[in-house]
Structure 1
Amino acid sequence: MTARVFIDGEVGTTGLQIRDRLSPRDDITLISLPEDRRKDADARAEALAGADVAILCLPDDAAREAVKLCADTGTRLIDASTAHRTDPAWTFGFPEMAPGQEAAVAGAARVSNPGCYSTCAIALLRPLRDAGLLAPDTPISIFGISGYTGGGKSLIAEFDGDSAMGSFVYATGQTHKHLPEIVTHAQLDATPMFIPSVGPFAQGMVVQIALHPGMFKGSAQDLHAALADHYASGFVRVRPLAAQQAREEPQALNGTNDLELAVLGDAGKGRVVLSAILDNLGKGASGAAVQNLNLMLGLDPATGLR
Structure 2
Amino acid sequence: MKFKVFVDGQHGTTGLKIHEMLENRDEIELLTIAEKDKKNIKKRKELLNSADLVFLCLPDVASKESVSLIENENVKVIDASTAFRTDKNWVYGIPELTSKQRDKIKNSKRVCVPGCHASGLIVAMKPLVKNKIISKKHKLICHSITGFSGGGSSMISDYENGDFEIIGGQRPYALNLNHKHLPEMKHVLKLKKAPIFTPSVGNFKQGMLVISYLEKENLKKKNVSKDDLLKLYKDYYNNELFIKIIENNDEYLDNGFLNPMKCNNTNSLEISIYENETDLVIISRLDNLGKGASGAAIQCMNIMLGLEERKGLNIAKN
In 2, the alpha carbon distance for the partners of 1:185 and 1:229 equals 20
Give the deviation of 1:72 after TM superposition: 4.4
Q: Which residue of 1 aligns with 2:198?
A: 195
Task: Choose which of 259, 262, 272 in structure 2 pairs with 1:262.
Answer: 272
Q: Is the 8 A contact 1:219 1:270 kept in 2?
A: no
Q: CA deviation at 1:241?
A: 5.3
5+ unaligned residues in a row in structure 2: which ranges?
none
Q: TM-score, normalised by structure 2?
A: 0.93
2 CA distance for matches of 1:71 and 1:126? 36
Conserved? CA contact 1:141–1:209, under 8 Å: yes
- Identity fraction in percent: 38
Q: Distance in 2 between matches of 1:71 and 1:240?
A: 49
For 2:230 and 2:218, locate their aligned partners in 1 and report how far apart those are by CA, in whole Å.
15
Asked if 1:287 is matched to 2:295, the reply is: yes
Structure 1 residue runs of 4 or more that deviate by more than 6 Å after TM superposition: none
Tell me how far apart the structure 2 counterparts of residues 155 and 35 of structure 1 sit (CA, whole Å).
20
Q: Displacement, 1:37?
A: 1.3
Opposite residue 207 of structure 2, the aligned amino acid is G
Q: From 228, 231, 240, give the equivalent of 2:247.
A: 240
- C-alpha deviations, 1:164-204, integer Å up to 9, x for none? 12221100111100000000112211111001000000010
Report the alpha carbon displacement of residue 47 of structure 1 after superposing the two structures with TM. 0.2
1:171–1:242 Cα change, 3 Å: closer
**Superposed, which structure 2 residues align to 1:25-36 within 5 Å?**
25-36=25-36
Distance 1:47 1:201 in 2: 36
1:78-136 C-alpha deviation (Å, 9 max, x unpaired): 00000000000000001011111011111111000001000000001111111111111
Which residue number corresponds to residue 169 of structure 1? Answer: 172
Q: TM-score, normalised by structure 1?
A: 0.97
Q: In structure 1, how many angstroms separate the alpha carbons of the residues matched to 2:137 and 2:155?
A: 35
SS in structure 2 opposite 1:214?
helix
Residue 178 (structure 1) aligned with residue 163 (structure 2): no
2:10 corresponds to = 10
For residues 8 and 28 of structure 1, what CA distance do their matches in structure 2 show? 16
In the TM superposition, 1:1-306 aligns within 5 A as: 1-164=1-164, 165-166=167-168, 167-216=170-219, 217=221, 218-232=224-238, 233-240=240-247, 243=250, 245=253, 246-266=256-276, 269-306=277-314
Question: Does structure 2 retain, via aligned residues, the 8 Å contact 1:137–1:189?
Answer: yes
Q: How many residues align?
A: 304
1:247 to partner: Cα distance: 1.6
Alpha-carbon shift at residue 248 of structure 1 (Å): 1.6
What is the alpha-carbon root mean square deviation over aligned residues? 1.2
Task: Return the alpha-carbon distance in structure 2 between the equivalents of residues 292 and 163 of structure 1.
Answer: 39
Distance in 1 between the 2:73 and 2:138 partners?
Answer: 43
What secondary structure is seen at the aligned counterpart in 2 of 1:136? coil
Report the Cα distance in structure 2 between the residues aligned to 1:242 and 1:215, rounded to whole angstroms. 24
Would the aligned equivalents of 1:106 and 1:295 in 2 still touch at CA under 8 Å? Answer: yes
Which amino acid in structure 2 is aligned with residue 174 of structure 1?
L
Which structure 1 residue ranges, 5 or more long, are not aligned?
none
- Alpha-carbon distance in structure 1 between the residues aligned to 2:40 and 2:31: 15
Specify the code of the residue in structure 2 equivalent to 1:278: L
Amino acid at match of 1:235: F
